[in-house]
Structure 1
Amino acid sequence: MPNPPTDLPYLIAPDPARPGLTRQVQGVDHTGAIGPISVVEERPLTIFLNGAEIVTAMTIGDYPEYLALGFLRNQGMLRDGETIKGVDYDDDLQVVVVRTDGTTTYEEKLKKKTRTSGCAVGTVFGDMMEGLEGLTLPAAQVRTSWLYALADQINRTPSLYLEAGAIHGTVLCHQARPLVYMEDVGRHNAVDKIAGWMLSETISAQDKILYTTGRLTSEMVIKTALMGIPVLVSRSGFTAWGVEIARQVGLTLIGRMRGRRFVCLSGEDRVLRDANLSAVADEPRKSARKGGGDD
């Protein structure tokens, strides 16, 4: 049975008012006026596993421990049941070290590293389809009333995107309730932070919804499926391979969700259209997030 909704408070990260996430630079607008423009900071974070350097990701720098844990889990470098002995972050060196009680197989995976169409650490180690064979996700029902309520709340949440743009958001949800909101310069970073949080807090995935502003590409679908989340929703569009994989594993895949509109290309039979469309407001321009072809 799915676990009940977590009692943990809704975690929104990063705080757009937090110092060091943005900087002011002088710019010129379309009228020729000169003034300060807020832009997102970007810094490297190097992830080690049991003493071996695995990857350097470009990130905004918040929640490095969640990012490291989620990245290693989503790349298949942390096995189910493996005990995590420690996660140590050095802010000066911008390094995070994850230590486990098991032997890792990262050497072979590093030899087979594959670049994908993703941004930031959109990298898959080894066979992209590894772990999907025989995988069938829970047939979780999703109500359109939940989707509209989530989209409205997420779009109105104070965020770094609304402050400076050039960033992606990902939200873990249970029914119509957002649980964790993460942002980063790459949509994969944001997803990995969610995965790291779920691993740290021992949160079940089988009754959750993952909402993202990023494109529904093959690697985004693969990450969601391997995390065990049965529903993936995005403001953006799809790739053909992403749709094919979603149908293969039974993932409900919903994209181009803005205002009253959305498109479901996998799992349509699990979508319950219970919302009154006349009561669903158009998306306010001032709170609109990016989507479409943005990366």
Structure 2
Amino acid sequence: MDSQISQSSKIVRFQDGVLQEIVDEIVSEHPLTIHLNGEEFATLVCSPENIMELTIGFLASEGFIRRSDEIKNIQIDESKGFAYVDLYIKSETPSHEFHSKRFIGSCCGKSRQFYFHNDARTAKTSTSKTTLTPQQCISFMEQLQKSSVTFQETGGVHNAALFSADELIVRRTDIGRHNALDKLFGYCIEKHIPVRDKVIAFSGRISSEVLLKAAKIGVGIILSKSAPTNLAIKLANDLNITAVGFIRGNSFNVYSHPERIISKKTS
């Protein structure tokens, strides 16, 4: 697997009435096949960096691990795009039908009819007590965008970052929005970083799948420069997650659990 997240390529650009040949940066796209306990489990299409974190985060979001010490062995073959993982406890790999079959349950009187089975097993209701000021929401999004060099060069990736209430902890990039979040998750598992009091800033739309990824990671606040879907808002209300969208300039919208966004911090 090529380790470069982007590559230079000759293209023809039309600008100001003129066609001209230029060199542009094109984002790289590679397959990663994960073998779990000796069996082929899943193939992801991803950006070729932080592959270890992506593998760990993906397995955690699918409910196979919770901690790094549950992994007996992990090997990454970047040249061929394979990850080989052995777990100490070998559970049966759920079928595709299990992952895609709808699940209807209830919690606190609310029907969770939109979950898939694996989401119902792994998504967490947030217990976060973290609060942010409006200025922090805007600042975190600005930091995410300014640090996203690959996006500025290619326009072809998603970016996600994990913040404490005070500072940026880690930022990850990938062509897949889910992959960027899984890389954050894998980083936290590898580094033993508690996530309940953390915040995710995300470059893309808050879909129901993105909201569920945030719930699986365990954060209580997700920030985005884009809009959420109606289903994402329903899930955010159900899972006690604060979803903040359209963070642009000096304005934003709070779509769920606005009690975590406060006018100012008290000493």
TM-score (norm 2): 0.86
Aligned counterparts, 1:180-191, within 5 A? 180-191=170-181
TM-score (norm 1): 0.78
* RMSD, aligned α-carbons: 2.3
Give a deviation string over 1:164-185, Cα, whole Å, max 9, x none: 1111000011113111110000
Instruction: Give unmatched runs, 5+ long, in structure 2.
Output: 103-114
- In the alignment, is the contact (CA less than 8 A) between 1:137 and 1:249 conserved in 2? no
Which stretch shows the higher mean deviation, 166-175 or 146-155?
146-155
Residue aligning to 2:108: none
Aligned counterparts, 1:64-143, within 5 A? 64-79=51-66, 83-106=70-93, 108-114=94-100, 126-132=117-123, 135-143=125-133
Give the 3 Å change call, closer, same or farther, for CA 235–139 of structure 1 in structure 2: same
Once the two structures are TM-superposed, the CA of residue 22 in structure 1 deviates from its matched residue by 2.0
Give the 3 Å change call, closer, same or farther, for CA 131–73 of structure 1 in structure 2: closer
Give the 3 Å change call, closer, same or farther, for CA 36–221 of structure 1 in structure 2: same
Once the two structures are TM-superposed, the CA of residue 80 in structure 1 deviates from its matched residue by 5.7
Paired positions, count:
249
What letter matches 1:208 in structure 2?
Answer: K
Give the 3 Å change call, closer, same or farther, for CA 58–23 of structure 1 in structure 2: farther
Once the two structures are TM-superposed, the CA of residue 113 in structure 1 deviates from its matched residue by 3.3
Give the 3 Å change call, closer, same or farther, for CA 177–36 of structure 1 in structure 2: same
Establish whether residue 231 from structure 1 lines up as the match of residue 221 from structure 2.
Answer: yes
- In the alignment, is the contact (CA less than 8 A) between 1:170 and 1:211 conserved in 2? yes
Aligned-partner Cα distance in 2 for 1:191–1:136:
17
Aligned-partner Cα distance in 2 for 1:98–1:65:
10
Residue aligning to 1:23: 8
Runs of 4+ in 1 over 6 A off after TM superposition: none
Establish whether residue 251 from structure 1 lines up as the match of residue 241 from structure 2.
Answer: yes
Give the 3 Å change call, closer, same or farther, for CA 152–242 of structure 1 in structure 2: same
Aligned-partner Cα distance in 2 for 1:143–1:264:
12
Give the 3 Å change call, closer, same or farther, for CA 105–259 of structure 1 in structure 2: farther
Once the two structures are TM-superposed, the CA of residue 147 in structure 1 deviates from its matched residue by 1.5
Percentage of pairs with the same residue: 23
Aligned counterparts, 1:204-215, within 5 A? 204-215=194-205
Once the two structures are TM-superposed, the CA of residue 140 in structure 1 deviates from its matched residue by 2.2
- In the alignment, is the contact (CA less than 8 A) between 2:8 and 2:23 conserved in 1? no
Establish whether residue 165 from structure 1 lines up as the match of residue 155 from structure 2.
Answer: yes
Residue aligning to 2:38: 51
Once the two structures are TM-superposed, the CA of residue 143 in structure 1 deviates from its matched residue by 1.8
Once the two structures are TM-superposed, the CA of residue 79 in structure 1 deviates from its matched residue by 4.5
Give a deviation string over 1:43-94, Cα, whole Å, max 9, x none: 1111111112111111111011100000110111225686212221012221
Residue aligning to 1:278: none
Once the two structures are TM-superposed, the CA of residue 132 in structure 1 deviates from its matched residue by 4.2
- In the alignment, is the contact (CA less than 8 A) between 1:150 and 1:176 conserved in 2? no
